[in-house]
Structure 1
Amino acid sequence: MAKNSSNMHLKLKVIGFFLVAFVLVSCDSNKVFDQYIEVENANWKKENVAKFSVNIDDTTNAHNLYINIRNRGDYAYSNLYLFVKIEGPDGNFSVDTVNCTLADKSGKWLGKGIGDLFDYNVPYIGGFKFAKAGTYNFSLEQAMRVENGLEGISDVGLRIEKLDK
């Protein structure tokens, strides 16, 4: 009798595991690309440009592009200015200046936090359609006017999601 009870308990655990895994995978089914690059010593220097190469096959659906930022609680500013460059497979490129708001006026961090780290998915471009299939190169360069780097920025990244029709 005890053996049947432990078998049933094991089966329930396995079923629970697969249900959780299924939910996690299906919640992110629109993800095309999602990657962070760690900033050395959590001090983002101007010359350390974060670069991402993304192979794009889908030119018919629109996509949302996000800039991912992870900062520590000791980051000294409430925002982060970036130069964002997108270079297409044909060599054409665009450069934008983006202001990422990280804290409110009272200094409260707006990102999702665990301990002393805060994550942000900053909307960059919504409804973007890639003109051609191929490799797109994205670069994120910090554009703050500081001499010795941005202390407290630990990771930067890029996320691309396919829009639901």
Structure 2
Amino acid sequence: MNIKPSALLAAWFLLLGLSACDPNQVFEKNIDLKDTAGQPYVWVVQEKPTFEFNITDTTQRYDVYFNVRNASSYGYYNLYMKHTLTAPNGQVLSTLLHQMLLMDPKTGEPRGKGAGDIFDHAFLALPAQQFHQAGTYKITLEQYMRQDALPGIMSVGVRVAKKATAE
């Protein structure tokens, strides 16, 4: 079997790229929002995605991000979303309403990363969060717009990462 050196090098870079993930990341999960009544990408007010993640190091501070993927057809420049953070013992630690700007309010230009008509956003929602007990935490997200069925939101998610130390 004769393999070209360039093919070996390309395969090595591919493997290196696949193994190079963020060492500070503790958890990340996104949930696609289902089609509702024949309309794709609709976040109905009754749908409250819940994310569970495990914390083992209680001395560490963590940054908690909310991920949002939207279509360019989304009808607003912002998204109001409420979170509820629950500790392993069932105690509610925080409930907060967040306003996330998906588009520039003046120009209507999409924010976030994307191309075509799909845009991804990562909003730092809970910076330098400290979790005081080890175990499984829950974050529940709710859309808090004045509309029962909110078209144009494709998925939502949560990312938890160890806060990088300033050097």
The sequence identity of aligned pairs, in percent, is 34
Q: 1:163, CA displacement in angstroms?
A: 1.4
AA matched with 2:27: F
- Alpha-carbon distance between aligned partners in 2 of 1:50 and 1:10, rounded to the nearest angstrom: 43
Q: 1:144, CA displacement in angstroms?
A: 0.4
RMSD between aligned residues: 1.4
Give runs of aligned pairs for residues 1-165 of structure 1, distance below 5 A. 6-22=3-19, 24-25=20-21, 28-41=22-35, 42-93=41-92, 94-104=94-104, 105-147=106-148, 149-165=149-165
Q: 1:83, CA displacement in angstroms?
A: 1.2
- Alpha-carbon distance between aligned partners in 2 of 1:53 and 1:15, rounded to the nearest angstrom: 35
Rg bigger for which structure?
A: 1
AA matched with 2:115: I
- Alpha-carbon distance between aligned partners in 2 of 1:129 and 1:19, rounded to the nearest angstrom: 32
AA matched with 1:158: V
Q: 1:8, CA displacement in angstroms?
A: 2.1
AA matched with 2:150: L
Structure having the higher helix fraction is: 1
SS of equivalent residue, structure 1 residue 145 = coil
Q: 1:66, CA displacement in angstroms?
A: 0.5
AA matched with 1:20: G
- Shift of the 143–13 alpha-carbon distance from structure 1 to 2, 3 Å rule, reads same
Q: 1:120, CA displacement in angstroms?
A: 0.4
- Alpha-carbon distance between aligned partners in 1 of 2:137 and 2:13, rounded to the nearest angstrom: 39
SS of equivalent residue, structure 1 residue 54 = strand
Q: 1:16, CA displacement in angstroms?
A: 2.5
Tell me the matched-pair count. 157
Q: 7-16 or 83-92, which moves further after superposition?
A: 7-16
Q: 1:15, CA displacement in angstroms?
A: 2.6
AA matched with 1:48: E
- Alpha-carbon distance between aligned partners in 2 of 1:59 and 1:117, rounded to the nearest angstrom: 37
Which consecutive unaligned segments of at least 5 residues does structure 1 have?
none
Which consecutive unaligned segments of at least 5 residues does structure 2 have?
36-40
Deviations 1:30-71 (A, max 9, x none): 111111011112110100001111111111111000110000
Deviations 1:71-106 (A, max 9, x none): 001000000001100000122112111111111121
